[in-house]
Homo-oligomer: A and B are copies of this chain.
């Protein structure tokens, strides 16, 4: 069993098991929503795609932000703290980087798990049970490496404890340069953006920094034209 990490969705790298990470905040929100009782989460890259999907489905809670503000006509934002109680059975989440990573993983992997720190132990156990090689796909930000996602990738690599590529070793090594998850998430550009531009969302950082508090393994169950469908 080998583990590889790609820090941006465009990079080379494939394996039977894919683990997608966009810890601030799409995959944290997806894990939280499914753990709270949503039955399925659609992630769509564009706002208009999310709206069209609700039209097609005839139902769905619309979640999403642009510039840390809930999108006009949407029900909720991107904060995982808004999803501790379900307000419907279907969540349609607009998330550009997260969706891109899910789609990239779907193209390369037989099965795709969604990971955050919240469900770290559960997703690592599922990957180990699958028994195949693993590629961790970091969403990053607009095609570039994000330190917060790299940190979580390194935690996955450390817990998997199997053979590593250079990239997987780099992720595991990075983890050791911080005192813990919250320090790493705060050091990232995504974390700093929240603190500087959306102080009301700063509490998302400690929320997303909690490790292995949710026993859920979200999986990609279908890839639709403009969205990934995720369920337990």
Instruction: Write the residues of chain A forming the contact surface with B, with a CB cutoff of 8 angstroms.
Output: 4, 6-8, 10-13, 141-147, 150, 165-167, 169-170, 173-174, 176-177, 187-189
Contact = CB atoms under 8 A, between A and B. Distances in A.
Contact of A7 (B143, B145, B177, B187): B145
A180 B10 CA distance: 31
Nearest to A7: B7
A232 to B, nearest CB: 31
B187 A167 contact: no
A152 to B, nearest CB: 13
B12 A142 contact: yes
Contact of A11 (B143, B167, B169, B188): B143
Given A11-B8, A13-B144, A143-B12, A173 B177 contact: yes
Nearest to A188: B166
A144 B170 contact: no
A78 to B, nearest CB: 19
Contacts of A166: 141, 144-147, 150, 188-189
B12 A11 contact: no
A41 to B, nearest CB: 26
Nearest to A12: B143
26 contacts: A6-B144, A7-B7, A10-B11, A11-B11, A11-B143, A11-B145, A12-B143, A12-B144, A13-B144, A141-B166, A145-B165, A145-B167, A145-B170, A146-B166, A147-B169, A147-B170, A150-B170, A165-B189, A166-B189, A169-B187, A170-B170, A173-B174, A173-B177, A174-B174, A176-B177, A177-B177
B11 A144 contact: yes
